[in-house]
Amino acid sequence: MALSGKLTKKQVDSLGPGRHGDGAGLYLVVDSSGARRWIVRVTVKGQKNRKGGPLRTDFGLGGAGVVTLHEARERALEYRRMAKNGLNPRFNAKVDMPTFEELARQVHIDRLPTWKNHKHGQQWVNTLRDYAFPKIGRMPVDSIGQPEVLMCLSPIWTAKHETARRLAQRIKTILDVAKSRGYREGENPVNAVQDAGVLPKVKAKVLHHNAMPWRDVPAFYAELECRTATAANALEFTILTACRTSEVLEMTWDEVDLDARLWTIPAGRMKGGVRHRVPLSDEMLRILTGMKALESKYVFEGQRRHRPLSNMSMLMLLRRMGRDGFTVHGFRSSFRDWASESAGAPREIAEAALAHTFGSEVERAYARSDLLEQRRELMHRWSEFLMRME
């Protein structure tokens, strides 16, 4: 006999944010991001909560993109029957083992609200789609071990090392989630593979000033954007503006004109002792808008109230992200190489963006303009390059 309820398949796909009841304790939960998942609320007969009342508890049944309306009703019915007989579904429900791809897509849906925009969420799952799903996507998530992880990583470990690093992190995340949900036991095989040293060591290509190669910066920037700490925002802004560490960390709100899309660094804070104007791109403004809520004198406030972030914070973040060979200052070199090799920017505009003096003393005497509008276009292109899809 077909199970029935209040919801229709069309509503499952179209309802807006909120909790929508199907009846008998089954709900479709739609997040503000559009992610959809099923939960069922049951009351376990004869069991009490900490306050002595009936034990009512919610159980996730999976994402609506993976679990159909009919399947959700069947699972909800099974849980209600257990609860009616005094059995807590948390300990007695039959585990329906998902495949790696099914769980990965559910993790992707669950984490959509944590990403700053849709593009970065899509990048996260696209890496798995291209390099993991074809090999292990159909495997039950409890059957994936070191050989399967190596099957995904080995073909691209040296040729596309940054992509392989991100792939390893994402596979590890999915298997950690699987363990937390009772699907797996023991050590995460990604950790075992990395600790065993079976993959060859890849020496990073380090530029002058320990700079990250400019072609690798967008991938690193995408990874950085998944972090929400102030140090991550400060590092994003430093990369976008190609400014020095001290210039960013000591930045105050009275230097910023959001309407004019301009940040003016006074001469006293500049290495060359000359005022420097920084044109603000859309991505820079997004970061500044997010920091405005802190209501501090400094844009990037540290742990101490109304004090700037520590000058070691961004470097330590680089180390925690496994980029020990690079420095924050090196991103200025990354920008300069990109401007020359990819953007084809005139030397005087690229040097002006870095607040460098250029030309002979006579040339500088006649250079009355700081080339702001030309630099505005260049920084817009740099932002677009950093935000590009893989």
pLDDT, tens digit, for every residue of 284-317?
Answer: 999 999 898 777 899 999 888 788 999 899 999 9
- pLDDT per position as a tens digit, 317-342: 999 998 988 999 999 999 999 999 99
Q: How confident is the model at residue 118 (pLDDT cuts 50, 70, 90)?
A: low
pLDDT, position 231: 94
Contact 307, 298 (CB under 8 A): yes
H or E stretch including 285?
A: helix 282-291
The separation between the first and the last C-alpha atoms of the chain, rounded to the nearest angstrom, is: 48
Tokens of 21: 């009841």
Mean pLDDT value across the chain: 85
Contact 278, 265 (CB under 8 A): yes
CA atoms within 13 A of residue 2's CA, in its CB half-sphere: 4
Q: How confident is the model at residue 390 (pLDDT cuts 50, 70, 90)?
A: very low
Torsion from C-alpha of 262, 268, 269, 274, nearest 10 degrees: 60
Q: How confident is the model at residue 90 (pLDDT cuts 50, 70, 90)?
A: low
pLDDT at 177 over 50: yes
DSSP 306: T
> Pick the residue with more confidence: 180 or 358?
180
| Local structure of 346: helix, strand or coil | coil
> Closest Cα partner for 339 from 348, 330, 328, 327?
348
Highest mean pLDDT among 91-95, 270-274, 303-307, 360-364: 270-274
The CA distance from 303 to 160, in Å, is: 37
Contact 236, 225 (CB under 8 A): yes
For tokens 């789609």, name the residue.
129
CA atoms within 13 A of residue 222's CA, in its CB half-sphere: 25
> Closest Cα partner for 107 from 21, 11, 12, 181?
181
Contact 266, 275 (CB under 8 A): yes
Q: What is the mean pLDDT of residues 53-64?
A: 75
CA angle 317, 323, 329 (to 5 degrees): 75
pTM for the whole structure: 0.49
Q: How confident is the model at residue 133 (pLDDT cuts 50, 70, 90)?
A: very high
Q: What is the mean pLDDT of residues 375-387?
A: 94
Bridge partners for 279 per DSSP: 262
pLDDT at 354 over 60: yes
Tokens of 155: 């073909």
> Closest Cα partner for 36 from 100, 96, 108?
108
Name the CATH code of domain 9-92 (choices 1.20.210.10, 3.30.160.390, 3.40.50.720, 3.30.710.10).
Answer: 3.30.160.390
Range with the lowest mean pLDDT among 197-206, 214-223, 291-300?
197-206
pLDDT at 374 over 50: yes
pLDDT, position 1: 46
CA angle 95, 98, 101 (to 5 degrees): 165
Burial class for 380, CB neighbours closer than 10 Å (0-12, 13-18, 19+): middle
- pLDDT per position as a tens digit, 234-243: 999 999 999 9
Burial class for 199, CB neighbours closer than 10 Å (0-12, 13-18, 19+): middle
Domain regions of the chain by residue span? 9-92, 100-196, 214-386
Contact 271, 278 (CB under 8 A): no
Buried b (16+ CB within 10 A) or exposed e, 213-235: bbebbbbbbbbbbbbeebbbbbb
pLDDT at 262 over 60: yes
pLDDT at 92 over 70: no
The CA distance from 338 to 342, in Å, is: 5
DSSP 269: G
Tokens of 219: 């991938």
As a whole-number percent, the residues of the chain with pLDDT over 70 amount to: 89
Contact 39, 60 (CB under 8 A): yes
Name the CATH code of domain 214-386 (choices 1.10.443.10, 3.40.140.10, 1.10.10.10, 3.30.70.580).
Answer: 1.10.443.10
CATH superfamily of 100-196: Tyrosine recombinase, N-terminal domain (1.10.150.130)
Contact 294, 304 (CB under 8 A): no
* DSSP letter string, 94-136: PP-PPBHHHHHHHHHHHHGGGSSSHHHHHHHHHHHHHHTHHHH
Torsion from C-alpha of 120, 39, 44, 87, nearest 10 degrees: -80
Tokens of 136: 């292990």
Q: How confident is the model at residue 79 (pLDDT cuts 50, 70, 90)?
A: confident
As a whole-number percent, the residues of the chain with pLDDT over 90 amount to: 46
Q: How would you list the strands of the sheet with 26-30, edge to edge?
A: 18-23, 26-30, 36-48, 54-63
Q: How confident is the model at residue 42 (pLDDT cuts 50, 70, 90)?
A: confident
pLDDT at 249 over 60: yes
Tokens of 149: 């992880």
